[in-house]
Structure 1
Amino acid sequence: MPANRSLGIMTRCQGSHFVDKGYYRKLTLFGRKQGIRVFVFSPRKVDYATRTVKGFEYRNGAWQSGTFPLPALVYDRCFIGPSYRHYKPFVEKLQNDPAISFLGYGLSGKWQVQQMLSKSRELAPYLPPTQLYTLAHLEQTLDQYGAAIIKPTAGTHGIGVVRIKVVDNGFEISGRGRENQPFRRVIKGRPKLKLFLSTFTAGRKFLVQPYLELHTADGTPFDVRVLVQKNGRGEWETTGKAVRLGDPRSITSNLHGGGKAVPLEAFLARHFKPSLKVRIEQQVNRLASELPAFLEQSHGRLVELGIDVGIDRAGNVWVIEVNSRPGRTVFQMINDPVAKHHSMTQPVRYANYLMKERVGGY
């Protein structure tokens, strides 16, 4: 296959170790049927002198290392986390290469996304009041609402998300620490709270929001994961929707924290009155159809988004987070084979569309 029919999956490889091998294997096999060569590579392994890159290709039932011509298209799966700074300059160099196009550019952080979405008249009402964390902003939120959430601006998997609640004898703090372990403690007095927070947030940026009761009547936290992707015609399409249920001891519903997934419609029918269920479904669908295109206008090209939607006890719908490198496990867990298949093949379909539409570069 010629280099201009190649799709490079850019990820963080430690030697031959990289995450999501099962997903990338399916992308490779589906790409082959479309006449597209798919391989996995680290942005740190590019040789610009020879215009090649060391990487891995799934062949003959195994991942095999090789040297590949730089791909025409790059699918960015370089997850942002504490060690991303080691990859960022290499990613940016690829992004600035005129011969290479990215299927989509990763969103930079929760605060930036919040700022972009707040400019939309349609989407702004779905955003919880949000500020960059300072002790003054936290105290203001606690005084107004009685409970607040702080979350890292660049965090994933619910790590570092903490609820602070005013209680009779001080402040109840619960959430997940840096090791993603749930914890709960009561702290007496603002000076001790200030000391705890200065240690907990040290060196990282956080957001502060009012605490929303995004849980069922029995206290199980949940959210709705909506996966939207570009299809083979270059248009946004909703691939699937699922409810993620968290550990009742936790304040978040992330699957990495021991959660599980269930189908949306049955869940809403069980927990909300029929008229409220219909309204919630309409609002979730509206978010799925309006948010991607609006975000893309502000941010630049995107290929897929995981939109995490919260529903509070009164049935109000909230945009909790938008992720440009979404996972797909939920559709396996709810046994939705169509959504599962589409979630794994749409990036190749979109790559095929870009190659056909824009032969010879952009």
Structure 2
Amino acid sequence: MQKKKIPVQIISSGILSDDALLVGETLVKKWKIPQGQPVTIKFGSFRSTVKIIPVQRFEGLRISYGLARRMGLLTNTNLRLKYGAASSVLALGPLIGVMISRDHPQMADRPFGAITQFCKELVDASELQGAYVYFFTPDQIGAKEGAVDAWVYAEGWKQQQMPVPDIVNNRLTTRKLENKPSVQQFMREAKARYGTQVFNEKFLDKSEVFEALQRDASLHRLLPESHLLRGYTQLKAMCSRYSSVFLKPVRGSLGKGIIKISRQLPGAYTALYATAGGTRRQQYESLPKLFSALSGKISSVRYQIQQGLQLIEIGGRPVDFRALVQKNATGKWAVTSIVARIAGGQHFVSNLARGGTLIHVKEAILKSNMIASAKQGASARLHAAAVDIAAGIETQIPAHFGELGIDLAMDAGGRVWLLEVNAKPSKNDNTPLTANSIRPSVRIMMQYARFLSGF
């Protein structure tokens, strides 16, 4: 299959009919595109029969205003073109749809609130890659078969009906939205009817991740003992094996609801509760009394119980690491970035939402209490662990992921441990937004979309 990035120009329907395309003569000859015979033009789910008219001394594609409007193109742009001789299909793309949680039509300059700048970065990256990107919410699907009411950027944000895309990047931020019947139906039909590829298609539960990775013997070295908490007997067994354990909401995020339980002598226990204002400490005379105090939480929210780890520290504050791992231009997992996070002064979790601060990995390792001999190669061990875990997730969990946020820890001996995996990683946690620039993570997402779509 032949493919190339070309300029796409929109001209008056009075000059060119809607059933014709002007294509550079060199391209027509090189790709052996038939003239005077029907050819299918494709853009996402859009298809129309056209005839090809070669144009001398021109390297691109010209389409009529009427055809462009039906395709959802509002302005001249650069897109990738590929031609399949066996099917006589001339495809433009890739067309990428980013599914977001909500929009604010009344805010002309910031229709997506805090993620508007991120969305504009995706637009800029798509232009560089010869792709076309649009944005839509669950409320914008289903109005018309084979189409989506969406937001595009054409000298400002505009709403426009678009074809179902070649690629969907699921950026929904809540399970409630993701599990809506209309969203699930849209994803099923897009895959089945139009061959759409959907990535980051589901949230991950903590218990699901650890149970899946346990099936891969090569990853056992990275996994602290971890179970879905089912009752007092399990809590007692874990507390007898480890001096501290963590209870984490199976579907929690941003450090919310985490409880650290530490064994004291003789037989007493301390529980640290992560709250928005800091850490709340509570003493219990015995484990049964502690469990009784927790029973209300445990009965309403599923918790994961995990072996406590002695994380490396800087100035007495625990440090962990967030790796962003993405599929790249060749469809392989690779680390885009790793940052170290130091817990805030009033917290035992390192999330930025809980007062944590970012620091470079090498600086964190250098300043930490890790033994000197273990510091050598520590950064490389983090990178290798992140890629191995991403590959394990892909192998063991039947869902398509294009990027994962992987939280890792290191102990004083330099051993790497997995803390949790996030299927919808926040961009702000990894690379600060900078005006007039495109983050590497955004560029790589576009490259992977091209790989998936065959453009």
User: Structure 1 length as normaliser, TM-score?
Assistant: 0.87
2:188 aligns with 96
| Residues in 2 aligned to 1:180 and 1:230: alpha-carbon distance in whole angstroms | 37
| Residues in 1 aligned to 2:433 and 2:220: alpha-carbon distance in whole angstroms | 30
1:116 aligned to 192, 212, 219, which one?
212
| Residues in 2 aligned to 1:294 and 1:49: alpha-carbon distance in whole angstroms | 39
2:401 aligns with 302
The answer to whether residue 259 in structure 2 is matched with residue 162 in structure 1 is yes
What is the Cα deviation at residue 350 of structure 1?
A: 0.8
1:247 aligned to 326, 330, 344, which one?
344
The answer to whether residue 328 in structure 2 is matched with residue 231 in structure 1 is yes
What is the Cα deviation at residue 91 of structure 1?
A: 3.2
| Residues in 2 aligned to 1:180 and 1:138: alpha-carbon distance in whole angstroms | 27
Q: Does the 8 Å CA contact 2:431/2:439 hold for their aligned counterparts?
A: no
Q: Does the 8 Å CA contact 1:171/1:188 hold for their aligned counterparts?
A: yes
2:59 aligns with none
2:390 aligns with 292
Q: Does the 8 Å CA contact 1:175/1:250 hold for their aligned counterparts?
A: no
**Alignment length (residue pairs):** 351
Letter in 2 for 1:55: A
Single out whichever of 115-124 and 34-43 deviates more from structure 2. 34-43
SS for the counterpart of 1:20 is helix
Q: Does the 8 Å CA contact 1:7/1:71 hold for their aligned counterparts?
A: yes
What is the Cα deviation at residue 262 of structure 1?
A: 0.8
1:221 aligned to 314, 318, 334, which one?
318
Letter in 1 for 2:185: K
1:54 aligned to 132, 149, 165, which one?
149
1:341 aligned to 424, 428, 439, which one?
439
| The structure with more radius of gyration | 2
Go from structure 1 to structure 2 and tell me whether the alpha carbon gap of 1:54 and 1:188 turns closer, same or farther (over 3 Å shift).
farther
Single out whichever of 232-241 and 256-265 deviates more from structure 2. 232-241
The answer to whether residue 71 in structure 2 is matched with residue 71 in structure 1 is no
Q: Does the 8 Å CA contact 1:262/1:334 hold for their aligned counterparts?
A: no
SS for the counterpart of 1:313 is coil
| Residues in 2 aligned to 1:47 and 1:181: alpha-carbon distance in whole angstroms | 44
Which one has more relative contact order, counting CA pairs under 8 Å at least 6 apart? 1
SS for the counterpart of 2:439 is helix
Q: Does the 8 Å CA contact 1:241/1:264 hold for their aligned counterparts?
A: yes
| Residues in 1 aligned to 2:307 and 2:389: alpha-carbon distance in whole angstroms | 22
Letter in 1 for 2:293: F
Which deviations, in whole Å up to 9, do the C-alpha atoms of 1:104-129 show, x marking residues without a partner? 43343111111111122221111000
1:33 aligns with 128
Go from structure 1 to structure 2 and tell me whether the alpha carbon gap of 1:254 and 1:137 turns closer, same or farther (over 3 Å shift).
same
2:414 aligns with 315
1:132 aligned to 210, 225, 228, which one?
228
Go from structure 1 to structure 2 and tell me whether the alpha carbon gap of 1:94 and 1:120 turns closer, same or farther (over 3 Å shift).
same
1:21 aligned to 107, 116, 136, which one?
116
Go from structure 1 to structure 2 and tell me whether the alpha carbon gap of 1:146 and 1:235 turns closer, same or farther (over 3 Å shift).
closer
Single out whichever of 212-221 and 110-119 deviates more from structure 2. 212-221
Which deviations, in whole Å up to 9, do the C-alpha atoms of 1:35-72 show, x marking residues without a partner? 322122123431164322233233424x3333322222
| Residues in 1 aligned to 2:386 and 2:260: alpha-carbon distance in whole angstroms | 28
The answer to whether residue 248 in structure 2 is matched with residue 151 in structure 1 is yes
Q: Does the 8 Å CA contact 1:227/1:305 hold for their aligned counterparts?
A: yes
Q: Does the 8 Å CA contact 1:261/1:333 hold for their aligned counterparts?
A: no
Q: Does the 8 Å CA contact 1:126/1:318 hold for their aligned counterparts?
A: yes
Unaligned runs of 5+ residues in structure 1 are 358-362
What is the Cα deviation at residue 351 of structure 1?
A: 0.7
| Residues in 1 aligned to 2:160 and 2:241: alpha-carbon distance in whole angstroms | 58
What is the Cα deviation at residue 217 of structure 1?
A: 5.3
The answer to whether residue 310 in structure 2 is matched with residue 204 in structure 1 is no
Q: Does the 8 Å CA contact 2:317/2:344 hold for their aligned counterparts?
A: yes
| Residues in 2 aligned to 1:48 and 1:8: alpha-carbon distance in whole angstroms | 16
| Residues in 2 aligned to 1:132 and 1:72: alpha-carbon distance in whole angstroms | 38
| Residues in 1 aligned to 2:365 and 2:444: alpha-carbon distance in whole angstroms | 28
| Residues in 1 aligned to 2:302 and 2:260: alpha-carbon distance in whole angstroms | 16
Q: Does the 8 Å CA contact 2:318/2:343 hold for their aligned counterparts?
A: yes
Go from structure 1 to structure 2 and tell me whether the alpha carbon gap of 1:297 and 1:196 turns closer, same or farther (over 3 Å shift).
same
Letter in 2 for 1:236: W
| Residues in 2 aligned to 1:84 and 1:191: alpha-carbon distance in whole angstroms | 38
Go from structure 1 to structure 2 and tell me whether the alpha carbon gap of 1:180 and 1:22 turns closer, same or farther (over 3 Å shift).
farther
Go from structure 1 to structure 2 and tell me whether the alpha carbon gap of 1:293 and 1:217 turns closer, same or farther (over 3 Å shift).
closer
| Residues in 1 aligned to 2:177 and 2:204: alpha-carbon distance in whole angstroms | 11
CA root-mean-square deviation: 2.7
| Residues in 2 aligned to 1:37 and 1:180: alpha-carbon distance in whole angstroms | 43
SS for the counterpart of 2:376 is helix
Single out whichever of 210-219 and 70-79 deviates more from structure 2. 210-219
User: Structure 2 length as normaliser, TM-score?
Assistant: 0.70
Q: Does the 8 Å CA contact 1:163/1:173 hold for their aligned counterparts?
A: yes
| Residues in 1 aligned to 2:380 and 2:103: alpha-carbon distance in whole angstroms | 44
2:88 aligns with none
| Residues in 2 aligned to 1:353 and 1:167: alpha-carbon distance in whole angstroms | 54
The answer to whether residue 100 in structure 2 is matched with residue 11 in structure 1 is yes
